[in-house]
Amino acid sequence: MDRKKDVVRFQNVGMRYGLGPEVFHDMSFGVKAGSFRFLVGPSGAGKSTLLKLMYLAHRPSRGLIHMFGHDTATVARKDMPAMRRRIGVVFQDFRLIDHLSALDNVALPLRVAGANEEQLSDHVAELLRWVGLENEIHSLPSRLSGGQQQRVAIARAVIGRPDLLLADEPTGNVDNTIAMRILYLLEELNKIGTTVIIATHNEALISRFKFPQLRIEDGRVIDTGAETGAPASRTTNEAAGRGS
Amino acid sequence: MKGSRFRKLFLAGRDLPLGRDASSRFLVWIIGFMVILGSLSLASAMLLSDVGQGWRDELAGKLTVQIMPEADGEDAATTLDLRVRMAEQFLVGRPGIARVETLADSRIAMLLEPWLGPQSREDALPMPKLIDVQLEPGSGIDIPDLTRRLAELIPGSAIDDHGVWLTRLLTLTGAVETTALSILGLILLAATATVVFTTRAGLAIHDKEIELLHLVGAEDHYIAHQFQAHALTLSFKGGIAGSLVAAVALTALGFIGQGSAIGMIPPITLSVSQWLVLALLPLATSLIATLTARLTVMRSLARMS
């Protein structure tokens, strides 16, 4: 594996919360730039924890995590924001800010990065139109349905064109049509170079979008893409058959 | 570009709903009350400083010669006048003495009236004669020697250079002035502590939103900016309101004091420059609150993760 091109690399990573048992141990795998992976495993296997380690919300109990080629243990605190801006996250519980409109929630990553306010509004509104929320641009999250909130969360995660997109059950609250649309959006992002990792239980999605999997079994990760030598994205035939 | 800078300076704070916190709503009131108290303390200190300076200016380089009446009877007044003239002759033209003026009886009675009442004008009491002596600046005159020689010439005479009681009065006013400034310092300290607690409460209340901001790539100073903009807004509102109340109170005191100003106590009126100093207090409070909020957030966030 070419380590220089690994967006994510775990080496013997173990994780426990407090004094509890290890959620997983000796986890070693790498995800190359431009890959698309489904993160699968039984409930409680540690999918969300694994994502949290990737989006730098937690530090591992042991082992090394390299993100974009940098050892996260040695990254200076002042450099963390820049690294986090390269990562888009769709949280399982959306984590929208209650008092901000859909537009302001989606604009958050651009705003914290110091983007120009004038350009920001047009860009965000366009993305919200794309996810079907053109009539809810100024709505507060409390006025949106679960599925609409999820689409706002997805828009927020992709607005900054991240190098790595991590999504925790991004289709959990939407119908199949919207779920497919979201996956196509993520696939388009993947095509322009964004590495995508999606934690999901949605078997229909997994079988339809035959991307390689990071499968958590017995506290370890098995990368089906690495095992089979599968390409980062789906085969041409699969891609051609989508949306039909 | 200018709009963006304006937003960064004054409109930051939208991401975190800090205005909804009960603790931050109280901050306006607390800052307001503290600015009222601080303004009154500062005004007191400035007025006392003025009083002390006034006394110094008025009494510096002055002596008062007192000739006590010695004899009763018909010729007592004549004798006293004679002794006063002798004292005047002794003093006039001496090196270091610029002016000698004997106070008229009516003037002495007026000075004593606040303590003795109108009867002091009716010759019911034997009144001393007072001679006001103005010294030349930097005369370096030997007061004890002058006193001794005058007493030899005119028994029953005394010289008061005001030094003893002026020193005591100035020490007293200085102590009160220091106390007033200390109270102002304590008020500012309390205001600072209030902002620290309010900011920490805000950090605790909004920890989820703050974590989210961090996860989407916000730097600490972006988050700190929201708190400091919020603190600036609240403290400025409270400070201006407090200043207005204090100004009304001081103006009212000035009007009341005008009618009752007596003797050495001057009326309670502030100069334009003193009003300007008072006007700086809410600005200083806002600045302190802003910096305090920023430092509190930056230190707290640095301790996280």
Q: pLDDT tens-digit profile of B140-152?
A: 788 888 889 988 8
Q: Across chain B, how many H-helices and E-strands are there? A: 9, 4
Closest C-alpha among B75, B93, B94, B95 to residue B83: B75
Secondary structure class of A42 (helix, strand, coil): coil
Residues of B in contact with A78 (CB under 8 A): 219
Identify the residue with better confidence: A57 or A204: A57
A243 pLDDT exceeds 60?
no
Of A97, A111, A117, the CB nearest to B212: A97
pLDDT-derived band at A176, boundaries 50, 70, 90? confident
Predicted local confidence at residue A17, as pLDDT = 86
> Cα torsion for B3, B6, B10, B11, to the nearest 10°?
20
Assess whether A178 and A81 both reside in one domain. Answer: yes
* Distance, CA of B162 to CA of A89 (rounded, Å): 81
The verdict on A65 and A152 lying in the same domain is no
User: At residue A232, does pLDDT exceed 60?
Assistant: no
Chain A residues close to B212, C-beta within 8 Å: 95, 97, 108
If one counts the domains in chain A, the total is: 2
Q: Using an 8 Å Cβ cutoff, are A48 and A92 in contact?
A: yes
Average pLDDT, chain A: 85
Does A83 score more than 90 pLDDT? yes
Which of B17, B208, B217 is nearest residue A112 as measured by Cβ atoms? B217
The tokens of A193 are what? Answer: 């170079």
Residue B30 near residue B288 (C-beta atoms within 8 A): no
What is the nearest CA distance from B37 to chain A, expressed in angstroms? 36
Residue A235: is its pLDDT beyond 50?
no
Check whether residue A50 and residue A111 sit in a common domain.
no
Which of B191, B203, B186 is CA-nearest to residue B302?
A: B203
**Cβ distance of A112 and B305 shorter than 8 Å:** no
Nearest residue, CB atoms, B4 vs list A97, A116, A156: A116
Flag whether pLDDT at A2 surpasses 50: no
Question: Contact, A106 vs A141, CB < 8 A?
Answer: no
Based on the fold, state whether residues A66 and A170 are members of the same structural domain: yes
Distance from CA of B300 to the nearest CA of A (A): 14
Residue corresponding to tokens 């009752």: B260
Please give the ipTM for the structure prediction: 0.86
pLDDT at A163 > cutoff 80: yes
Is A215 found in the same domain as A117? no
| Residue that terminates a domain, selected from A127, A157, A187 | A157
Contacting residues of B for A166, CB less than 8 Å apart: none
Choosing from A157, A178, A196, the residue where a domain stops is A157
Residues of A with CB under 8 A from a CB of B: 55-57, 59, 77-78, 80-82, 84-85, 89, 95, 97-100, 104, 108-109, 111-113, 116-117, 156, 160
DSSP structure class, residue B11: I
At B196 the pLDDT is: 95
- Shared domain check, A168 and A77: yes
Q: Select from A157, A179, A207 the last residue of a domain.
A: A157
pLDDT digits (tens, 9 = 90+) for B160-208: 887 777 888 888 889 999 999 999 999 999 999 999 999 999 999 999 9
Residue A109 to residue B216, Cβ atoms within 8 A: yes
- Is A172 in the same domain as A131? no
Left, alpha or beta for A233 (phi > 0: left; psi -120 to 50: alpha)? beta
Nearest to B212 among A95, A117, A160 (CB): A95
Domain residue limits at A175: 3-86+162-241
Q: Are residues A168 and A146 in the same domain?
A: no
Pick from A94, A97, A168 the residue to mutate for testing the B interface (most B CBs within 10 Å).
A97
**Domain identity same for A76 and A167:** yes
Q: Provide the CATH number for the domain around residue A228.
A: 3.40.50.300
Q: Which of B11, B208, B215 should one mutate to test binding to chain A, selecting the residue with the greatest count of A CBs within 10 A?
A: B215
Q: Do A15 and A41 lie in a common domain? A: yes
A138 and A236 co-located in one domain: no
Query: Radius of gyration (Cα) for chain B, nearest Å?
Result: 31
Chain B CB contacts of A100 under 8 Å are 14-15
What own/partner pairs with CB < 8 Å and gap ≥ 24 does B187-193 have?
Answer: B187/B34, B187/B37, B187/B38, B187/B41, B188/B34, B188/B38, B188/B284, B188/B285, B188/B288, B190/B34, B191/B30, B191/B31, B191/B34, B191/B38, B191/B235, B191/B285, B191/B288, B191/B289, B192/B288, B192/B289, B192/B292
Q: Choose the closest CB to A85 out of B3, B17, B217.
A: B217
Q: Looking at the predicted structure, is the pLDDT value of residue A237 above 50?
A: no
A100/B15 CB distance under 8 A:
yes
Q: What pLDDT shows up at residue B72?
A: 65
Read off the pLDDT of residues A130-142 as tens digits, 9 standing for 90 and up. 888 989 999 999 9
- Say yes or no: A15 and A78 in one domain: yes
Q: Which ranges of chain B have pLDDT less than 50?
A: 1-3
Query: Mutating which of A48, A84, A87, A91 best tests the B interface, going by the most B Cβ atoms within 10 A?
Result: A84
With 50 as the cut, is the pLDDT of residue A112 above it? yes
For chain A, how far is it from start to end, CA to CA, in angstroms?
A: 35
Chain B partners within 8 Å of A67 (Cβ): none
> Which residue, chain included where needed, has tokens 């200018």?
B2
Subunit contact A78:B219, Cβ cutoff 8 A: yes
